Structure formats: C-alpha cells, structure tokens
C-alpha cells in the first residue's frame, strides 16, 4: 500500500511588523487589551507590491530545499488560500509557473482558516490512489487585504504569511489520517459578504471586509477543534498521551488554551505562534509546523496532530508521523 509522508517544510513571513502599539495609533485599542484577549503581540503585513503568490513562492522554495528534491519532481500543487491574487487562474497555477513546473495539476482550495487541512487531505488522497507521487501543499494568505483597519474587532487579529509542505509517496505511513468537515448554516458568523457574483458593488465601495461574531465563533471553534481531536485519536486507536505535539489553528490564545484544556493535552505539547504571527488563516498551521521543525522541537518519528477551523464553518485535522 502507498502512503504519503511529509519530507520537507517551509514558511515565509513578510518583513513588515505591525505591533499592538502601532494599532493603538490606528484604532481605539491598546496593547494590554489585545494581549489579554488574543495573545497577539504583533503580526506581519505584506508590502503593497507583495501578493499571495509571492509569499507562497518563498515558502515553497524553502520546503522544496528541505525536501531535497528538484522542482521537476513535483506532480501536484495545491494552494489553500482565501486571498487569491486573481479570480483566475488559480494562485496554484501562478505558483506553478513561478517554479517552472509544466504539466501536472495545480489548483486552489478555499476553506478559509481550515484550508490547509483540506488541501492536505486532498493531496494525501491523490498520493494514496497513485494519482500523484510528490505533492506541494501550500497555505498562503494576504489576509490584511480583506480587513477593515478601522474595525477593532477584526483588525487586531489577522496577519499575512505562507507555509508549505512537500508530501511524497512512501511505503511507510506518514500522514496517518485526515478528517474534514463543514456546516454552512453558520455562514454569516464569519465571512466576507462580498464576491464577484454577489454584492459586487461593495467591492468598488471598499467594503469587501471580514465580518465576525466573535463570541459565537469562539464557542464553536473550541467545540469543533476539541471534538476533532477525539475523532482523530479514535480513528487511529491512539490515546492523547501518544501525541507528541498539537499544532492548532493560530487564531486566538484563549481558543488554543481552551482546546488544550478540554482535550487534556499539556500546554508544553502545544505549538504556539499566534503571539508573533497573528491569525494567518490557511497559512497558520504550516507556518507553525515549519517553525517547530526548524527549531528542533519536532523530531523524526514523532506524532503531530494538526487542526484548523474557519469560516463556513469548516474544520479539519490531520495526524502525521514525521
């Protein structure tokens, strides 16, 4: 039987740091309030001439280098993003061209902050069915472009960045299982209520912004992310004690802490980057994964549980052995 295995990780953050002190000069808020409520101290913001594909490219090059492969070895590219450079072609196609790869399928997946989990699920199935041998999976966002910087409920939360992994076919399991879910009845609780087909006039009025019912999103995120840990462990006949690291979606430190407490996973086993990255949507999980791989916390053979939660609502998880 063929399995998929993570053989390389990479990430990229824009140079510009937007601190809580900077936000104090932009909107009615303060550093202490933001840190207590969210755990965020700073977030990165893409330059005016820097776009989602640019971030995705830099993260991909690092992942490819870490994997020790050539660009030509890649036969599948999936980019998870909510902030595509263009309506079409896909950001994945733009990235494919940047990398000089011709021929294999390249497409985007849109599940907002759970996007990377959905993309990983799809890539894993491609490899397990023999439709691909080496996949590049990227989560990349310039989320700052869909934020109203006068809305203190949302502007304090989000940042830009990209993370990537290379998956390769292997005889030994690497991705042990993936689990994805959605429920559209919660569509209005976290969304950008503007698109190409609907309310398009608002785009020209500069109103294509993220809206969020924070309290409802918090409660749902904690419940869904806690439950999917149990689902993942049950599917693999594993106990919580066998998980070496939990990498949750980096949305809010209170959500992360609540999920860890509810799942009874010690805080020292939870990877946290939200303090320095903010919520980078589809990029948050692969960014955190790459950081923990590169600083030596995550070691070969360890079990890592990844999970994400976002608008839709959509949520997902993956259990991987490094």
| For residue 301, pLDDT beyond 80 | yes
58 — pLDDT class (breaks 50, 70, 90)? very high
| For residue 195, pLDDT beyond 90 | no
CATH number (domain holding residue 314): 3.40.47.10
Q: Same structural domain for residues 165 and 149?
A: yes
Look at residues 145, 172, 199 and tell me which one is the last residue of a structural domain: 172
206 — pLDDT class (breaks 50, 70, 90)? low
Q: Same structural domain for residues 157 and 189?
A: no
Q: Same structural domain for residues 70 and 214?
A: no
Q: Same structural domain for residues 7 and 154?
A: yes
Catalytic residue among 20, 134, 155, 279: 279
Catalytic residue among 53, 181, 249, 252: 249
Alpha-carbon span 27 to 14, nearest angstrom: 22
Look at residues 147, 172, 197 and tell me which one is the last residue of a structural domain: 172
Mean pLDDT of the residues in the chain: 96
Q: Same structural domain for residues 129 and 199?
A: no
Calculate the alpha carbon distances from 135 to 77, 106, 289 in Å. Answer: 6, 10, 17
Closest C-alpha to 277, from 290, 261, 265:
290
Q: Same structural domain for residues 11 and 135?
A: yes
Among residues of the chain, what percentage have pLDDT more than 70?
98
| Catalytic site includes residue 279 | yes
Among residues of the chain, what percentage have pLDDT more than 90?
95
Which pLDDT tens digit goes with each residue over 158-191?
A: 999 999 999 999 999 999 999 999 999 999 999 9
Looking at residue 179, its pLDDT comes to: 98
Neighbour count for residue 243 (Cβ, 10 Å): 20
Q: Same structural domain for residues 84 and 150?
A: yes
| Catalytic site includes residue 179 | no
Looking at residue 199, its pLDDT comes to: 76
Q: Same structural domain for residues 244 and 308?
A: yes
Looking at residue 203, its pLDDT comes to: 66
Q: Same structural domain for residues 162 and 184?
A: no
Helix (H, G, I), strand (E, B) or coil at 309: strand
Look at residues 122, 137, 172 and tell me which one is the last residue of a structural domain: 172
What domain range includes position 204? 177-321
Q: Same structural domain for residues 277 and 298?
A: yes
Q: Same structural domain for residues 10 and 142?
A: yes
User: Could you give the number of structural domains in the chain?
Assistant: 2
| Catalytic site includes residue 236 | no
Strand order in the sheet with 175-182: 175-182, 314-321, 303-310, 245-247
Catalytic residue among 53, 113, 134, 155: 113
């Amino acid at each position: 039987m063929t399995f998929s295995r993570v053989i390389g990780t990479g990430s990229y953050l824009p140079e510009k740091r937007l601190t809580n002190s900077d936000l104090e000069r932009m909107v009615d808020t303060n550093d202490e309030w933001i840190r207590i409520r969210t755990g965020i101290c700073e977030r990165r913001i893409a330059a005016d001439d820097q776009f989602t594909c640019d971030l995705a490219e830099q993260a991909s090059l690092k992942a490819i280098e870490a994997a020790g492969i050539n660009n030509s070895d890649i036969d599948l590219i999936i980019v998870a993003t909510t902030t595509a450079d263009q309506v079409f072609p896909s950001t994945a196609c733009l990235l494919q061209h940047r990398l000089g790869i011709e021929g294999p399928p390249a497409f985007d997946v849109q599940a907002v902050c759970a996007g990377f989990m959905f993309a990983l699920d799809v890539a894993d199935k491609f490899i397990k069915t023999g439709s691909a041998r080496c996949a590049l999976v990227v989560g990349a966002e310039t989320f700052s472009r869909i934020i109203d910087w006068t809305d203190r409920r949302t502007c304090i939360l989000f940042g830009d960045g990209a993370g990537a992994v290379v998956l390769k076919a292997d005889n030994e399991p690497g991705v042990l299982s993936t689990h994805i879910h959605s429920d559209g009845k919660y569509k209005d609780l976290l969304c950008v209520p503007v698109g190409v087909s609907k309310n398009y006039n608002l785009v020209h009025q500069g109103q294509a912004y993220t809206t969020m019912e924070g309290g409802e999103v918090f409660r749902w995120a904690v419940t869904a992310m806690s439950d999917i840990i149990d689902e993942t462990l049950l599917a693999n006949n594993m106990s919580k004690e066998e998980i070496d690291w939990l990498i949750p979606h980096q949305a809010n430190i209170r959500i992360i802490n609540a999920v860890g407490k509810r799942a009874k996973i010690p805080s020292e086993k939870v990877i946290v980057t939200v303090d320095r990255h903010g919520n980078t949507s589809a990029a948050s999980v692969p960014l955190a994964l790459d950081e923990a791989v590169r600083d030596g916390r995550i070691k070969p053979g360890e079990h890592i549980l990844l999970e994400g939660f976002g608008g839709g609502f959509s949520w997902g998880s993956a259990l991987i052995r490094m």
